[in-house]
Amino acid sequence: MTYVDSSPPVSIYPCVCTHINQPCRGIVCECSGPSACPDGSSNGTCSTQPGGYCYVTVEEVLDEGGLVVVERIAGCLPPDESGFMQCKSSQVPHQHPKVIECCEKDLCNRRLRPVLPAGSEDSPPALPAPPSSPAPPALVAAALCVALLAALAALWLLLRRRRAGKRPPSPPVLTDHTEISSGSGSGLPLLVQRTVAKQIQMVESIGKGRYGEVWLARWRGERVAVKVFFTTEEASWFRETEIYQTVLMRHENILGFIAADIKGTGSWTQMLLITDYHEHGSLHDYLQLHVLDPHTLLTMAYSIVSGLAHLHMDIFGTKGKPAIAHRDIKSKNILVKRDGQCALADFGLAVRYVAERDEVDLAPNTRVGTRRYMAPEVIDEKLDLADFEAFKMADMYSLGLVLWEMCRRCAAGAGAGAVRAEPYAPPYHDRVPPDPSFEDMHALVVVERARPALPPRWRHAPATAALAGLMAECWHHNPPVRLTALRVKKTLAKYRAEGDVKLV
């Protein structure tokens, strides 16, 4: 269209007063035509809102006799974007020739005389071309362009489907390991993971923590656990997803990973981690409700250290597994399975050892471990962050405290069946508050070098006596003296009874 106006450029923003005492107001425009005047009259004036426009349109229409005539309509347009876009509307082609001009002064549209394109004013209405007539060159070119674009889009979709069939695309988190698929058993194919959030049906909340909330949910008819992270814990979700996607990570004593996804709208976001569901919950909760027999105690202890040994182990190969340290071993991060074994969970603080570069891949988040379970060198801030073995030895200290929690709930010792287990209690329950500070733990663990007390009855049963000796070596004050996870696993293998334990 031809946009003619001697006034300042059109603004789509509300009017701004240039004088303090001058109120903002709209402008008065000529209106002609029943559809343009507010009172329904064919001619008159109308007033716009502040910042509005006056306009005049000229369009070819058919009169009652079927003749082509030029119709002129004048009126007011609103100040918002719809009014501005109407002023620009004649820049796109119309079925019938039409042109519009706008201005921004009182009754300025009386002077507007829009002109239709040359050759259109007295021309008859366009008739469909006969089948035999050749199409205009411009139409042919446009059709060819559309056909070419459609062919390119179809080719792109075909290539994408073929690639998806050969190898899943990258996971939702972009790292150096984005080429990893679920071929190692680390979860669903990554293409499927991106749609899992839409298929999850939340059932009930089963736990809350500092990172977020855990829900029991249903997916494809199966019960799963969904860990919903707070938006402030994005780094933990990122790291945990990254660790679970590690090649050869899957192990019977590590929580089974299904998928990771993000869902939300513009106002909220949920970061989801979908894993296997274990109805017995965490070891912390299970020990409060159940008393263990020696067989169950050894089965649980062996499964925990087996998972930790697999985590600490590095597997060399084309797609090998790096060594991983958990950094937050505690009874709340260990789940109890139906067959009596346990599985390690919560890898939001885990670190990996990259053998190719001989460096420790630290988690990029601000969280720290649980103070009650922290090793002395961690509390004293003397842990060598460049030494991966130091992280593994810190895990072993925490493992010793978990073994102590389990032994307290084992009914074994002198007097055969008359021995009762101690009530559940966390490590150092009798020495520090329920939520101990760094100062509390530093004074107890670093300065006093105190460790949880070992009841005399433990010495009279093979299971608790064996574990008492192991835990004392695991929580030694000097990290290099502590046992490795593999050494503890081999020692427990001698005491482990055959067969599975069924929990009811």
Q: Which residues are tagged catalytic? A: 328
Helices (H), 81-136: 81-87
The position carrying tokens 């855990």 is 214
- Write the single-letter amino acid at 125: P
Tokens (6 digits) for 64: 């009652």
* Per-residue DSSP letter, 443: I
From the list 4, 10, 3, 2, the residue with the least C-alpha distance to 27 is 10
Any residues with CB less than 8 A from the CB of 393 and at least 6 apart, and which? 375, 479, 480, 482
Q: Compute the distance between CA of residue 442 and CA of residue 449 in angstroms, rounded to an integer.
A: 9
Tokens (6 digits) for 137: 């060159």
Residues making up the chain, counted from first to last? 504
Q: Compute the distance between CA of residue 17 and CA of residue 43 in angstroms, rounded to an integer.
A: 31
Q: Compute the distance between CA of residue 391 and CA of residue 325 in angstroms, rounded to an integer.
A: 6
Q: Compute the distance between CA of residue 320 and CA of residue 314 in angstroms, rounded to an integer.
A: 7
Given a contact cutoff of 8 angstroms between Cβ atoms, the answer to whether 271 and 237 are in contact is yes
Number of CB atoms found within 10 A of residue 100's CB: 22
From the list 224, 229, 223, the residue with the least C-alpha distance to 241 is 229
Tokens (6 digits) for 504: 């009811």
> Per 3-state DSSP, what percentage of the chain is helix, strand, and coil (rounded to 5)?
35, 20, 45
Given a contact cutoff of 8 angstroms between Cβ atoms, the answer to whether 37 and 47 are in contact is no
Given a contact cutoff of 8 angstroms between Cβ atoms, the answer to whether 63 and 69 are in contact is yes
How do strand 323-325 and strand 334-336 relate by DSSP bridges? unpaired
Q: Compute the distance between CA of residue 121 and CA of residue 208 in angstroms, rounded to an integer.
A: 74
166 annotated to a ligand binding site: no
Helices (H), 122-261: 137-166, 190-199, 234-244
Tokens (6 digits) for 479: 């990290």
Helices (H), 55-123: 81-87
Helices (H) and strands (E) in the chain, counts: 11, 15
From the list 385, 360, 376, the residue with the least C-alpha distance to 474 is 376
* Annotated binding-site positions: 227
* Annotated binding-site positions for ATP: 227
